[in-house]
Amino acid sequence: MNIGEAARASGVSEKMVRHYEAIGLLHPARQANGYRSYAGGDVAVLRFIRHARDLAFPLEDIRKLLALWRDRGRASAEVRGLAMHHVAALEEKARALQAMASSLKHLAAHCHGDDRPDCPILDSLEGRHG
Amino acid sequence: MNIGEAARASGVSEKMVRHYEAIGLLHPARQANGYRSYAGGDVAVLRFIRHARDLAFPLEDIRKLLALWRDRGRASAEVRGLAMHHVAALEEKARALQAMASSLKHLAAHCHGDDRPDCPILDSLEGRHG
DNA sequence: CTTGACCCTCCCATGATGGGAGACCCCACA
DNA sequence: TGTGGGGTCTCCCATCATGGGAGGGTCAAG
């Protein structure tokens, strides 16, 4: 299977398929003409990566997850630990974003939002309040 | 005032002070020796930028906000519109992150997290469920 | 033999930030 | 007058994941 078909089968762009190989996440064989050749296992790896990316795992985490996945005897605790660590990071980021949104919404609530130049949002950014 | 003092006074790193100049957000004067020279207004701009960055405004938005800030006759509606648009973007991102965290937490809840190799998290990434 | 789809590698861009090299400037102190 | 140290200059590179595009090779069908 060439890269195009592997990309379609996995839902990963060709660009990223090559990139994942470049950083050592998979090692497809090569044909005589230099084309990459993907077997079923390679496509499975690509799907695994895509699903992990859908959950926003960084590629370095995915590298570890792939190693655990390939290790039939791994302890599920290791995977769970990695996952929970990532959950904490996601929730922390979400909290931070939500806090910024709330602050800004609060400011906007006190802004007329009409033709007048008076604007608490700009006032706040200017630093009258911090 | 040299760049070091302006950086300390505004809470922006020297690196970023230079970068903001490079992308045209401020235009400090130059001394005879080539050193940048910052006046009170420049520091105010840097503080403005920092506060906007604290709210995760992209620099392109900050460019517009600065223009509105400098325009004494602007309508507050414009600022408010920009802000609310940004609020929506922040909330959308926060929602997405929270959704990923929830999915992953759900998976982790079904993972023993012990010595056994059995792991619903890896199973899910593998694609048995997607 | 041409056409078109596919594949290759290499370079560049994003957005915001930082690290570091190599060189220059300036002031204080001996 | 010389030197040391701190401040500043520009330029290049790295991050993270992703994509765009150039320039060229490969292959199968017409």
- Where does the pLDDT of residue A106 fall: very low under 50, low under 70, confident under 90, or very high at 90 and above? very high
Distance between first and last Cα of chain A: 60
Average predicted confidence (pLDDT) for chain A: 95
The residues spanned by each domain of chain A are 1-58, 75-130
Considering only the beta carbons, identify the residue of A76, A91, A126 that sits closest to B116.
A76
| Rounded distance between C-alpha atoms, residue B44 and residue A89, angstroms | 34
CB A44 within 8 A of CB A26: no
B76 touches A at CB < 8 Å: yes
CATH number of the structural domain A1-58: 1.10.1660.10
- Where does the pLDDT of residue B127 fall: very low under 50, low under 70, confident under 90, or very high at 90 and above? confident
Considering only the beta carbons, identify the residue of A95, A100, A115 that sits closest to B75.
A115
CB B119 within 8 A of CB B108: no
Contact B116 A69 (CB under 8 A): no
A63 touches B at CB < 8 Å: no
Domain B1-57 of CATH type 1.20.1340.10: no
Average predicted confidence (pLDDT) for chain B: 95
Burial of A61 (0-12, 13-18, 19+ CB in 10 A): middle
pLDDT tens figures, B92-126: 999 999 999 999 999 999 999 999 999 999 999 99
Please list every residue in chain A whose beta carbon sits closer than 8 Å to the beta carbon of residue B123: none
CA A72 to chain centre: 26
Q: Tell me the residues of chain A between 2 and 41 that have a Cβ less than 8 Å away from chain B.
A: none
